[in-house]
Amino acid sequence: MIRTNNLNVSRLTPIIAPADLKQVFPLSDEGAAFVTQSRQHIRNILNGKDNRLMAVVGPCSIHDPQAALDYARKLAKVAHELRDQILIVMRVYFEKPRTTIGWKGLINDPDLNGTHQISKGLGVARQLLCDITELELPVATEMLDPITPQYLSDMVCWGAIGARTTESQPHREMASGLSFPVGFKNGTDGSLQIAIDAMRSALHSHSFLGINHEGRTSIVQTTGNPWVHIVLRGGNERPNYHPEDISQTEELLNTAGLSRTVMVDCSHANSYKDHERQEEVLGSVIEQICNGNTSISGIMLESNLESGNQALAPCPSQLSYGVSITDKCIDWPTTERLLRQAHGELSRVGGRKTI
Ligand SMILES: O=C[C@H](O)[C@H](O)COP(=O)(O)O
Ligand SMILES: C=C(OP(=O)(O)O)C(=O)O
């Protein structure tokens, strides 16, 4: 027989179904109640009913669950202290979209050695989400692979669609069915329009292929996600967090009939990929809010236990503890200082103005 398909596929390996993984790492009733309440807080911030600022803070990517949990314990403490002005949500990113090639995250390659033990990766990710949720710290993640939500999304409180996938129909379809607020990044070239188009698409119902709880290929019919918004991350070496960029975004949102809520990613092209410049971006955003801006409802910081980044070593035991293996991050002391400063400024003006 002449073979005409799977010519470039070397192996297909079936894996555990979502329902079975959830039996191994169940979300407790208390955890589910906390996730439900946190999602409501985020929705209230996005629609202006809650005048706190949402801050998505944490590593560029998770590669060491132990270090992530150490980080989560520190963040949970600060989140509790600052909760009257800032809702802190931990950035727990398991899936990395690469510009070309590179390590694609803990789910794809949990052993960091190219063995791609994806079943193990899903389990490690689920265990970590259970542990962080137990600390009463809400979790944010990037939704990259349309299959993974069935495994993990019961514990996610906020999701991002990244700059490289905002224009992709499967990602817009996926967002239309997610149970939590989703931020669409502007494009890597700085295009705002693709995020606007993405929001308009994800607000609608869609029918597409996915998997069900038992892992069976299924038609997924969604209702549309009313909690989608834009995330400004800069593009093409040009930041887009300055007052004129925010006004332009507000105008585009108004024209498209979309809700006027904006989140600013202090990292990526907004910081020229220099982790230390996130402070400058955050400073400007907080100043804009204190001067009466009513559309900015959230910020994002890439932060880890230690500053900078490191190359993925041939032997993972050679890696330095708490240092990113993807983008450079600010360290914990800087993160705590920035969050406390932002809290001080917001308290001084009596919180974010909303309309
Ligand atoms: O946030 C992470 C990176 O910016 C993104 O995954 C792209 O990384 P790369 O350009 O190193 O592939
Ligand atoms: C990849 C990321 O961001 P962006 O999509 O904005 O490049 C990220 O936040 O990890």
Angle at 89 between CA 84 and CA 92, to 5 degrees: 165
Closest CA to 43 of 175, 152, 158, 203: 158
What's the pLDDT score for residue 315?
Answer: 86
C-beta 60 within 6 A of ligand 2: yes
**pLDDT values of the chain reduced to their tens digit, one per residue, 355 residues:** 999 999 999 999 999 999 999 999 999 999 999 999 999 999 999 999 999 999 999 999 999 999 999 999 999 999 999 999 999 999 999 999 999 999 999 999 999 999 999 999 999 999 999 999 999 999 999 999 999 999 999 999 999 999 999 999 999 999 999 999 999 999 999 999 999 999 999 999 999 999 999 999 999 999 999 999 999 999 998 999 999 999 999 999 999 999 999 999 999 999 999 999 999 999 999 999 999 999 999 999 999 999 999 999 888 889 999 999 999 999 999 999 999 999 999 999 999 999 7
C-beta 327 within 6 A of ligand 1: yes
C-beta 300 within 6 A of ligand 1: no
What's the pLDDT score for residue 313?
Answer: 83
What's the pLDDT score for residue 355?
Answer: 76
Number of the ligand closest to the Cα of 233: 2
Residues 202-215: tens digit of each pLDDT? 999 999 999 999 99
For the chain, the structural domain boundaries read 29-141+230-348
Measure 266 CA to ligand 1 centroid, in angstroms: 15
What's the pLDDT score for residue 267?
Answer: 98
C-beta 101 within 6 A of ligand 1: no
Look up the CATH architecture of domain 29-141+230-348. Answer: Alpha-Beta Barrel (3.20)
Angle at 126 between CA 123 and CA 130, to 5 degrees: 140
Residues 38-57: tens digit of each pLDDT? 999 999 999 999 999 999 99
Measure 165 CA to ligand 2 centroid, in angstroms: 10
Measure 269 CA to ligand 2 centroid, in angstroms: 10
- For ligand 1, what atom is nearest to the CA of residue 99? 12
What's the pLDDT score for residue 314?
Answer: 84
Ligand 2 pocket mutation pick from 265, 272, 302 by most atoms within 8 angstroms of CB: 265
- Measured CA to CA, the distance from residue 73 to residue 153 in angstroms comes to 21
Residue closest by Cα to atom 3 of ligand 1: 327
DSSP string, 228-282: EEEEE--BTTB---SHHHHHHHHHHHHHTT----EEEESSGGGGTT-GGGHHHHH
Q: Which residues of 166-182 are buried (b: 16+ CB within 10 A; e: fewer)?
A: bbeeebbbbbbbbbbbb
